[in-house]
Structure 1
Amino acid sequence: MTHRREQEQSPAANPVQGWLDGTAVPWRLTRGELMLKYGTRVDSPFSFEEVYLQVSPPPLRDLLYPLSFLALSRFSPAMPPVRLSAYLSVGDDTEENIQHAVVQCARLFGPAEVRDVYNTRSAVWRWGAASIRLTVWPPERRERWFGNNNAHKRDPRLVNACSMAVNTGWRPPLAQHERVWLDDFKPLGETRNWQLKTPRQPLEDAYFRENWLEYMRAPYEGEERLRGRFGCSADGRALIACEDALLIIPMAQIALFKVRRVLPAKGRGGSTLMACCATGYEDCPVKEVTIAEGEKADDLNDLVAQMAARTGIAFELTAYDYDC
C-alpha cells in the first residue's frame, strides 16, 4: 500500500488536522513531494534548511513566515511532516503577541489559558498526540543565552514574537496485512524489564519520535494486549514492538540487531536493543530503532542472541560505555 493511498483512507481525526485541511495547508503530502512543490530554503533567520508551506490566505493572521518544517535527512521523504512551526507578531509586546494568537486559536479550537511555564508564557491545545502550543519569552524572565540568539539578530521581530508549534498527531494507518501480523503476534520479551512507577499513557496520547514515523502505526482497537511487549509476526515477516508507540518493521529491512551497553556512572546505566534498519533512501540509509530496554548493561545479551538465532539476522554487543 502506497503512502498516497494510506493518506486518502485517513481522514482528519482531530481539530488540528481539520484546521490544516480547511486552510489548504498541504500537510498530507509527503516531505519529498512538499520539497519538490515548494523547494527548500536556508535564508530564514534560523539558517536551517526549511520548507515554507506558502498558502493564500495564510492559516492565521500576522504570521511572520508561513508554517514550515525542517528538511532533515533523518526524516523519511515518504512520510508527511507531523511537526510544523511558525511565528506571529503584531508588535514588540510579548503579551500582546500571545494574546493575539490565542484569540485566533480560541475561535478555532475553544478557549485555552495562558500560563506561566518556567521562563515563558504558554497556551496549549491538545487532542491525544496532536497539539498546538503558543509560547513567548517575556523580557523580565529571559536568561543570558536569549540575547545571543543569532536568529534574533537576523530578524529582531522574533525576540518578542509568539512561537507556534503544531503537531498533527498523524501516524500511518494499519494496512490489512499488518492487522493479520498483529493478530498472530508471537511475543519474545518485554520492552522494559523493570516495573514502571506510573501507568503507561494511552498510545493515542504518547509522545513519539518523528524520525521513526515510517515504522509507527496509528493506535487501533486491541492494542493494549501488545503494550510492553515485542515479538514477531507468526510468518516471521515483521518485528513488532509496542511501548510508547506501535512499531511494525519488516524483517527484510533489518540489517542487524544491536545492544548498546552502558555501565553505571553518574547515571544508572542500562542497555538498549535496537533494530538497525535499511531505509532505502540515500540521505539516511540506516536507522536505529529502539525495540527494548534493560535495567542493567548485560540484561539483553541472551535475548538478542535468541532473536538472532530465530530470525537469522546478525547481532552486535557494543563495547561498554559509562553513563556520564
Structure 2
Amino acid sequence: MRVLNRFFRRAQAALVPLTPWPDGPAPADIPSGSDGANPILRLVDAWRLPRHETRTEVVARCGVVPDPIYGWPALVLADAEPLPGALAPWTASAFERIPPQFPIARFTALAWIRDDAHANLRFVADHLAASLGPAPVGQRWNTVVAAWRSGLAEISLTAWPPEWQSRDLQNPSEDREPRLRTACHVTLTTGFRLSLSARERNWVTGFRPLAFSGDVGTARMAKAGRLAPGDTDLEYVRDPDGLVEDRQRTLGLSADGAALIVVSDQLFVLPRTDILRLKVVRMTPAKGGGGSSLHAHCRTLAPGADSQTISLAQHSDPDGMTAPGQDLGRRLDCSVEVSPYYPDC
C-alpha cells in the first residue's frame, strides 16, 4: 500500500485538472498503433482478459459464482491481471439474457487506494495514462468520470463522491463493503460485433427505407455503429461497414423481402424467419408526455429470454405506431400485438 500511495502522489501532476461538463468530458480518442493494433485491446490481452473465448467457454472454465463484492451471479476472472488497488478480480456479467455464443464484450473492476473518490479515480486514470496517454477527468452529474476510446473499444472510470450523493439513498453492498462508497468503477468494452455475411451485405445494400409517420431512434443518438453495441443485442447487430451512411434513422425490408433492416444507433439485421412477432406499446400522457413504440421480438439463444426485443420506431402520439406496426406485420407476415394504454409514469 505504501508503494501505491507513493505512486499516487507522483501521479497528481500528470493529470488533467477536474473540470465540470454538463454531460461529462468526452473520452480521450486514442489512435491505433503504428502496427495498426488497437491500444485498448492490446491492454486487454496483456491483462489476460478472455476476449477471444465465447461466453459459453468462459462459463465452462470458470463457472458462475457470486460476485465477491456484490454477491450477484458473475463470471469471476481470477486468472486476469488485476488493476493496482483492485478490490476483487475482474468480473463479467452472468446475466441470462446475454446470448452465450459470442465473446464477452464487457469487463468490470473496482479499485480503491484511500477513502477519497476523486483520489481513487485519478490514481486509476494515471495508471492507464502510462499506456494510453492522459484523459480528461471531470464531473458528470453526481459522478466524477474519465474515459479512453479507440475505435469501438473503451475504458471508462466512474466514482461517486459521497458528498455529491443524496443521503436518503442506501446501498446494502456499501454496508457490507464500505470501500465501495469511494471506489473507482472500471468498465472495459471491447467493441465486439459481427461483420456482415455475404447474404446480409446484399440485404443491407439493397434495402430501401419504408415511409411512415414516426421516428427510428432519436435525434441525439450516434450514427449507426459508431459506439459499441449492448451485450444483449449481439445476435442481430452488424458492422455497417459504411453501407448505410445515406440511410440513417430508417428501417425497411431487403430487396428480396427476407430481412428487416433497422438503422438506429446500431445496424440491426433481422432475418424474417427470426422475427416471432411485433408489438406496439401505447403510453398516455402522465408524468411523461406519452407516445407509442414499435418493437420486434426475435429468436434468441440467451438462456434467460424467450425472445430478443429490438426497438424499431416510436411516435409522440399514443396511437401513432399502431398503423405502421400493423402494416409492417403484413409485410413480414407476422403477428402484431397492440398493448392496452399505459400511463407514462
| TM-score, structure 1 normalization | 0.86
How many Å separate the matches in 2 of 1:194 and 1:230?
7
1:135/1:163 contact within 8 Å kept: yes
Q: What RMSD, in angstroms, separates the aligned Cα atoms of the two structures?
A: 2.5
| Correspondence for 2:166 | 143
The answer for the alignment partner of 2:341 in structure 1 is 320
Alignment match, 2:184: 162
Aligned to 1:242: 263
**Higher relative contact order, chain-length normalized (CA < 8 Å, sep 6+):** 2
Once the two structures are superposed, the pairs formed by residues 195-206 of structure 1 within 5 Å of their partners are 200-206=221-227
The one-character-per-residue Cα deviations of 1:218-244 (angstroms, maximum 9, x if unpaired) are: 231222123111111222221110011
Equivalent residue number for residue 277 of structure 1: 298
Structure 2: distance between partners of 1:315 and 1:35:
36
Of 171, 189, 197, 1:175 maps to: 197
Matched residue, 1:291: 312
Letter in 2 for 1:167: T
Aligned match for 2:74, one of 50, 55, 65: 50
The worse-fitting range, judged by mean Cα deviation, of 112-121 and 64-73 is: 112-121
Structure 2 CA distance, aligned partners of 1:194 and 1:78? 28
Deviation at 1:103, TM superposition (A): 1.6
Q: Does the aligned pair in 2 maintain the 1:265–1:323 contact within 8 Å?
A: yes
Partner residue, 1:5: none
Change (3 A) 1:302 1:43: closer
Partner residue, 1:76:
99
Aligned partner (choices 200, 210, 228) of residue 188 of structure 1: 210
Provide the C-alpha distance between the structure 1 equivalents of 2:69 and 2:217, rounded to a whole number of angstroms: 45
SS class of match (1:163): strand
Counterpart of 2:294, as a letter, is L
CA drift of 1:308 comes to 2.1
| Residue 246 (structure 2) pairs with residue 222 (structure 1) | no
Superposition deviation, residue 145 in structure 1: 4.6
User: Runs of at least 4 residues of structure 1 off by over 4 A?
Assistant: 194-198
Are the counterparts in 2 of residues 274 and 292 from structure 1 also a CA contact under 8 Å? yes
> Residue type of the partner of 2:128?
C
Q: Distance in 2 between matches of 1:241 and 1:185?
A: 10
Distance 1:189 1:13, change over 3 A: farther
TM-score normalised by structure 2 residue count: 0.81
5+ long unaligned stretches in structure 2? 1-35
User: Structure 1 residues 322 and 208, CA, compared in 2 at 3 Å: closer, same or farther?
Assistant: farther
Partner of 1:33: 57
Displacement of 1:189 = 3.6
Q: Check conservation: 1:261, 1:319, Cα contact below 8 A.
A: yes
Distance in 2 (alpha carbons) for counterparts of 1:91 and 1:260: 48
Structure 1 residues 73 and 98: alpha-carbon distance in aligned structure 2, compared to 1, 3 A threshold: same
Percent of matched pairs sharing the same residue: 32
| Aligned counterpart for 1:89 among listed residues 103, 112, 117 | 112
Report the counterpart of residue 60 of structure 1 in structure 2.
83
Question: 119, 126, 130: which is aligned to 1:103?
Answer: 126
TM superposition shift of 1:320 = 1.5
SS of 1:144 mapped into structure 2: coil
TM-superposed CA distance for 1:192, in Å, is 4.1
1:195, distance to aligned residue in structure 2 (A): 11
Alignment of 1:126 onto 2:149: yes
Shift of 1:170: 2.1
> Could you say if the C-alpha distance between residues 307 and 25 of structure 1 is closer, same or farther in structure 2, counting changes exceeding 3 Å?
same
User: Residues 170 and 218 of structure 1 are in contact (CA less than 8 Å); yes or no, is this contact kept in structure 2?
Assistant: no
2:99–2:235 contact (8 Å) kept in structure 1: yes
Q: SS where residue 58 of structure 2 aligns?
A: helix
1:102-131 deviation per Cα after TM superposition (whole angstroms, max 9, x unaligned): 121101211013223333332222335432
Aligned-partner Cα distance in 2 for 1:269–1:95: 39
Q: Give, in whole Å, the separation in 1 of the partners of 2:122 and 2:71.
A: 28
Distance in 2 between the 1:294 and 1:140 partners? 40
Write the deviation string for residues 142-190 of structure 1: whole angstroms up to 9, x where unpaired: 43156x3221222233233221122222222212211111112132246
Question: What is the one-letter code of the residue matched to 2:121?
Answer: I
Question: Does the residue aligned with 2:87 lie in a helix, a strand or coil?
Answer: coil
Which consecutive residues of structure 1, in runs of 5 or more, have no partner in the other structure?
1-11
Q: For residue 259 of structure 1, what is the aligned residue in structure 2? A: 280
* Residues 191 and 241, structure 1, Cα contact 8 Å, conserved in 2: no
Name the aligned partner's letter for residue 171 of structure 1. R
Structure 1 residues 165 and 145: alpha-carbon distance in aligned structure 2, compared to 1, 3 A threshold: farther
Q: Partners in 1 of 2:171 and 2:160 — Cα distance?
A: 13
Aligned length, in residue pairs: 310
Distance between the aligned counterparts of 2:158 and 2:71, measured in 1? 21
